[in-house]
Amino acid sequence: MPPLKNHAPKRQSKLKKAASVAFQGEAGSFSDISSRTMYPGAKTMPFVTFDEAFDAVASGKADLAMIPIENAIAGRVADVHHLMPQMQTLHMIAEHFQPIEFCLLGTKGSDIKRLTHVHSHVMALPQCRNETKRLKLKEVRHDDTAGAAAMVARNGDATQGALASELAGKLYGLKVLKKGIQNTTDNVTRFVVFSKENVVPDVKTPSMTSLFFEGRSIPAFLYKILGAFATNQINMTKIESYVEGFNAAKFYCEVEGHPDEARMKHALEEIAYYTNGKYRVLGTYPQSAFRVKMALKK
């Protein structure tokens, strides 16, 4: 991880209209769907890897990047969590919760009884395993759900199926053999949006703040950091460590709050002290309507 710095970067209050959104995968993926949902009218730009999607924003080829960070069933997207600490020039400016409905797709001349194999992303396969196991389908892993659908369409083999979105089926000319094949109906993937510009909402907006910080080799270091948030009545929703070699761990965390609030200012002052200034705010962004809705249900 590069040295942590710029924990108070320049910011702006509004994002200019996004003309393009980069994502990892192929057209018809859930990243593509999320991009179209959040930024209707923007050009969606598929890239093979997350690195390339991030680089597209850093270089100015795309305005934004739509990146999956965790799934309600499969957990965190590990590749992304190890790339984010390197994003020194990008800022997290939004979050989006995308309901995930998988379709079992096949060629136009296929039906479920003819299938022997099912193709999809490594994280998608376990999310649909209850049904694919019942159908006795052999799993084949791919880098992307839509890419798996495209491959099945190209090969035209009626024994091969794909787990992907209904949009992917339409784009690649596949037939929906079964909708809603996922194990549970509350399957949701959380995406975050990265921008070269640091767009921060008004302090009155219910917000999330994401940050990295580096541990000091002192007793109860993490306890002190957690205490900085706890004593200032700030709810932490996520914390994860990044261990590099045998050095002190580095952490990524998300909290409910805005850096301009007095309580957050006090907490960040404590964090600056306990980390010797080795922390960086990755972004402050509005809480999504989905997050607010879920909080009200608790």
pLDDT at residue 9 in the model? 58
* CATH code given to domain 207-297: 3.30.70.260
Query: Which residues of the chain carry a pLDDT beneath 70?
Result: 1-14, 243-248, 298
**CA–CA distance, 270 with 124 (Å, rounded to integer):** 41
pLDDT at residue 298 in the model? 64
pLDDT at residue 22 in the model? 98
**103-178 classified as CATH 3.40.50.300:** no
Residue ranges per structural domain of the chain: 20-100+187-195, 103-178, 207-297
Question: Residue 110: which of 172, 166, 156, 179 has the closest Cα?
Answer: 156
Coil, strand or helix at 71: strand
DSSP 141-161: EES-HHHHHHHHHHHT-TTEE
DSSP 235-252: -EEEEEEE--TTS--EEE
Place of tokens 């909402």: 201
Q: Do domains 20-100+187-195 and 103-178 have the same CATH topology?
A: yes
Three-state DSSP string of 84-120? HHHCCCCEEEEEEEEECCCEEEECCCCCHHHCCEEEE
User: Do 208 and 287 touch, CB atoms closer than 8 A?
Assistant: yes
For 112-152, what is each residue's pLDDT tens digit? 999 999 999 988 999 999 999 999 999 999 988 999 999 99
- Within the chain, strands assigned E span 20-24, 43-47, 64-71, 75-76, 91-99, 103-106, 117-121, 138-142, 160-164, 175-178, 188-195, 207-214, 236-242, 250-256, 279-286
pLDDT at residue 75 in the model? 79
CATH class of the domain whose range is 20-100+187-195: alpha beta
